Structure 1
Amino acid sequence: MSGVSIQNVEKVFGAVRVIHGINVEIEDGAFVVLVGPSGCGKSTLLRLIAGLEDVTGGSIRIGGQEVNDMAPKDRDIAMVFQNYGLYPHMTVAQNMGFALKLAGVDKAEIASRVNNAAGILNLDVLLDRYPRQLSGGQRQRVAMGRAIVRNPQVFLFDEPLSNLDAKLRVQMRAEIKQLHQRLKVTTVYVTHDQIEAMTMADVIVVMHDGVVKQAGAPLELYDKPMNLFVAGFIGSPAMNFLDATMTAGALVLADGQRLDAPAGAALTEGQAVRIGIRPEDLTVADTGLQVQVSLVEPTGAEILIGARLGDTPFTVVLRERHNLTPNQTITVAPNAGRVHLFDPRTEIRIN
């Protein structure tokens, strides 16, 4: 068993509490992504798992064993950082096998493990090169290979793709996911990029201000965000939000426009609600919400429309072709089954 159990974990730096009693259970072999904006505590939590920071309160277990007071080298984990951390005077093979050399592993075993990892990562022909002779993607593969040769219980990735260009990030995230599917080692991956989280994770843990706002499968968070923060963070472009009041069976906006309340919604007459509508769940229609177009961005497969509904910014993503121009008023209708409702006071989802 190589699961990771995080129980009531807290972290305080001086007088500042950055992790507030977090509970996360990571199953053996799972690929879990910690995601959230800068300063949310995700990298701090990863460093607590790695032993690079001391836990203020609570317990962290790896493979069933508490590791709070255990040195990083004794936790049987391997960590990959965003800056690669390669030794410039060593070849690829030497970089990959250096930790094993320090641990006293014999040369034949080191060579076997390095060659095996190089085969997995397509580094076979690069073993005699130095880091300066490699591209960014190749350097990141070497950093991953250095982790693989250790045969750890848990892989930890701290924003490993941040220094790569957009095209290479897409390629590398696919390679990391395929690597996990092949090795089936428990993996905890930190990123601020929710697209990375959606495409790579078995489970996403969304963090904000040192707390977990929601944890679940990617499509669970996308389809049923439990609060306004998760609703606004997961999905690109971000979800539209509109304030309304339940009036005579309809959701009435401040400018008087109306939407039918979702079937079965637990609302009472006069109740204030915040409506959430994803841009991709809207279509041009004869009836619905009137918005004024301010920007049209065709991407090829889609048309991204920046608009305004009264004083509120409003985004629409259309997959069908429309000849739209700035300042034009259009009517868009949401998919009735895809409208999200939230309590504006508690920010919690209304079922």
Structure 2
Amino acid sequence: MASVTIQDIKKAFGSVPILHGVSIDIQDGEFVILVGPSGCGKSTLLRMVAGLENITGGEIRIGPRVVNNVPPKERDIAMVFQNYALYPHMTVADNMAFSLRLKGTAKEEIATKVKRAAEILNLTPLLARYPRQLSGGQRQRVAMGRAIVRDPQVFLFDEPLSNLDAKLRVSMRAEIKALHQRLKTTTVYVTHDQIEAMTMADKIVVMHDGVIEQVGAPLELYDRPANLFVAGFIGSPAMNLLDGYIEGTDFAFGDHKLPLGPKPSALPGRPVIYGIRPEHIQIAQDGAPAEIIVIEPTGAETQVVAKLGSTQITCVFRERLQLRPGEIIHVKPDPAHVHLFDKITERRLA
């Protein structure tokens, strides 16, 4: 195992800059997820760590060693790809053993490592099968097994669950997290799915347009987003964001006023963006009137899209409420969970 240090990394394709001086410290044994929308540079950064993309500027270290010019096969990393990349003419056992055979590893050692990885991933009954005889989740486990047998210092995952159906993604998330807890190998994982990031990571790196917006533990990013982008990206359903200004101890927008915390940090009259998560809105007689547009029952909770003034908001209620589209409800945000952002800089206000 080893730490990974990414220091002031820049990447450009011709005259088009993709990464603008990215720096991340990944501790030995840490599970770090790079998350962000398509085109933010997260997969490019992962491929640079793997040695599959050249570095325009900056430095990458795996352990104490600078690996900028080290070939991929000499970096002691193992990568799991989105499309599995299994050899169709080889059995599961042969796919997992292939990289060890290329290195000239002894047959007995190969057999031992393949057996161990198969036991960890529950692949033992499938070792004689070919990839075409496996489900998507089984193929993904074989790809992970091929990485495990190499016993690398660092695991790299490039959106490994994107091709799986929703139910299988949930179970595979748990398997990957359990695998990390068992092996304790440093892991860098790329995804655009913030639910994957929230449920699996020790530390999340939120990227946008080639820069890092915020780094922190999942709940830290959820509870204290550093700016509007992180606030809107982390959380499902997304945080409600309202455009208005401070008026006394309230937030005013349109003809409505919403409560703030006991000590609003912004000056009276200052234009701000008011953020409140859907689960922190409740129905109250003294709340603001909102017209229901859509009701989405999910079983454990009910999501309600409503129109508050000219703005659409989403509310999440745990109760089984008898509501109908077109009905007026009175909603009140919990002032203890209000987020305020500067309208110009989009940074969080303390």
TM-score (norm 1): 0.98
2:307 equivalent in structure 1: 308
CA deviation vs aligned residue, 1:54-110 (integer Å, no higher than 9, x gap)? 110000000121100000000000000010000011000000000000011011111
Structure 1: gaps spanning 5 or more residues: none
Q: How does 1:107-256 map to 2 (within 5 A)?
A: 107-254=107-254, 256=255
- Are the aligned partners of 1:265 and 1:350 in contact in 2 as well (CA < 8 Å)? no
Letter in 2 for 1:348: R
Partner of 1:94: 94
**Shift in Å at residue 264 of structure 1?**
2.4
Instruction: Tell me the residue number matched to 1:14.
Output: 14
Q: What secondary structure, in the 3-state scheme, does the structure 2 residue paired with 1:291 have? A: strand
Paired letter, 1:219 = L
- Residue 177 of structure 1, CA deviation: 0.1
- Report deviation, 1:260: 2.5
Cα distance, 1:265 vs. partner?
2.5
Q: Structure 1 residue 248: deviation in Å?
A: 2.6
Structure 1 residue matching 2:97: 3-state secondary structure? helix
Return the alpha-carbon distance in structure 2 between the equivalents of residues 241 and 77 of structure 1: 41
Which moved further from structure 2: 176-185 or 312-321?
A: 312-321
Using the TM superposition, give the Cα deviation of residue 343 of structure 1 relative to its aligned residue in structure 2, in angstroms: 0.3
SS of the residue 1:268 aligns to? coil
Q: Is 2:5 the counterpart of 1:5?
A: yes
Counterpart check, 1:267 vs 2:274 = no
1:79–1:147 Cα contact (<8 Å) kept: yes
Report the alpha carbon displacement of residue 24 of structure 1 after superposing the two structures with TM: 0.4
Deviations 1:267-313 (A, max 9, x none): 11210110001011111111122211001111111111111112211
Q: Does 1:287 align with 2:297?
A: no
Alignment of 1:325-336 (within 5 A): 325-336=324-335
Distance in 2, Cα, partners of 1:350 & 1:205 = 21
**Distance in 1 (alpha carbons) for counterparts of 2:262 and 2:3:** 41
1:321: how far off? 1.7
Residue by residue over 1:126-174, the C-alpha shift from the partner in whole angstroms, topping out at 9 and shown as x without a partner, is 1111001111100000000000000000000000000000000000010
4+ long deviations beyond 3 Å: none
Does the 8 Å CA contact 1:262/1:339 hold for their aligned counterparts? yes
The 5 A counterparts of 1:42-121 are: 42-121=42-121
Q: Secondary structure at the match of 1:322?
A: coil
Q: 2:317 matched to which residue of 1?
A: 318
Q: Within 2, Cα distance between the matches of 1:66 and 1:263?
A: 50
RMSD: 0.8
Q: Distance in 2 between matches of 1:228 and 1:211?
A: 15
Shift of 1:238: 0.5
* TM-score of the pair, normalised by structure 2: 0.99
